[in-house]
């Protein structure tokens, strides 16, 4: 049976939103801006051995502002700022979540392939021990630095404009959290004269287990646990209502996972694309 999971990173949106565009940078003075709502409700969790176990029902809900801006044709600044709510059956907390600031630089000028490098800083602005039992969180309390490389290519599949992207990354985490290796593949295609885009992503996160050893998840499970691992895939569709304004929707699933919520995740957004 298919099992679902939030596409989690140490700073929650690293693998997807904060890396929108693959290896491509935005042209100077152009930008991409998005307001989205992402949520997960869980009454189960993946344990360290990959099996599932029941837990207290808990939900995380994020309304985020994402911005990409071309400082130069080869240098793009990126910000992802979430306003988060963490809730269980008894109580909830709300506030600013952990925020990502990233800087992407295009390393090649080749027309065949695009290679870029990104430095991402995960700022611990969220609450890492909220609620009566300290299990409600809108952040993990650690400052992480991730270096990522993307290799991208656009191509034609008949009448469809398509692209592919592969990436690898190293996420250095503080506060006794384990560092992580990340990798992934993304493919997408444009339909109806590029008004509709369908996207499929695969993401892998492997903990180096060089931080404090995690204890078994309790009834107060959290998505911000240490030594989380997964092999996940995401479906996304985006459609342009006008030349610049559009809407998007996505959902995420896993082939395998450990030490994290086991539940569906969903996202809906509205974007403005300065082409």
Name which residue leads in pLDDT, 171 or 8.
171
Q: Give the tens place of pLDDT for each residue, 65-115.
A: 999 999 999 999 999 999 998 988 888 999 999 999 999 999 997 878 999
Domain residue limits, the chain: 3-273
| pLDDT-based confidence at residue 20 (cuts at 50, 70, 90) | low
- Report the alpha-carbon distance of residue 100 to residue 109 in Å, rounded: 27
Q: Give the tens place of pLDDT for each residue, 249-261.
A: 999 988 998 888 8
- Report the alpha-carbon distance of residue 236 to residue 53 in Å, rounded: 28
pLDDT at 215: 52
- Report the alpha-carbon distance of residue 42 to residue 132 in Å, rounded: 19
> Cα-Cα-Cα-Cα dihedral of 261, 60, 81, 257, to 10°?
10
Pick among 1.10.150.80, 3.40.50.300, 2.40.160.40, 3.30.950.10: CATH of 3-273? 2.40.160.40
- Paired residues of 256 in beta bridges: 231
């Amino acid at each position: 049976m298919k099992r679902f999971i939030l596409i989690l990173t140490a700073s929650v949106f690293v693998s997807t939103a904060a890396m929108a565009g693959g290896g491509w940078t935005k042209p100077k003075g152009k930008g991409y801006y998005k307001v989205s709502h992402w949520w997960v409700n869980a009454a189960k969790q993946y344990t360290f051995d990959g099996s599932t176990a029941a837990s207290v029902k808990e939900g995380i809900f994020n309304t985020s502002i994402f911005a990409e801006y071309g400082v130069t044709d080869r240098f793009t600044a990126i910000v992802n700022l979430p306003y988060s709510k963490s809730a269980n059956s008894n109580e909830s907390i709300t506030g600013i979540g952990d925020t990502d600031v990233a800087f992407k630089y295009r390393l090649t000028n080749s027309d065949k392939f695009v290679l870029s490098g990104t430095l991402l800083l995960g700022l611990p602005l969220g609450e890492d021990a909220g609620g009566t039992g300290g299990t409600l969180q809108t952040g993990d309390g650690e400052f992480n630095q991730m270096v990522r490389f993307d290799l991208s290519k656009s191509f034609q599949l008949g009448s469809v404009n398509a692209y592919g992207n592969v990436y690898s990354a190293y996420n250095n985490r503080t506060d006794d959290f384990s560092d992580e290796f990340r990798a992934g593949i993304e493919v997408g295609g444009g339909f109806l004269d590029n008004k509709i885009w369908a996207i499929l992503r695969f993401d892998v996160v492997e903990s180096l287990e060089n931080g404090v050893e995690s204890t078994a998840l309790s009834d107060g499970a959290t998505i911000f646990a240490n030594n989380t691992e997964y092999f996940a895939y995401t479906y996304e569709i985006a459609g342009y209502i006008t030349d610049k304004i559009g809407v998007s929707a996505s959902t995420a699933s896993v082939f395998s996972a450990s030490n994290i919520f086991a539940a569906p995740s969903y996202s809906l957004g509205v974007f403005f694309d300065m082409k």
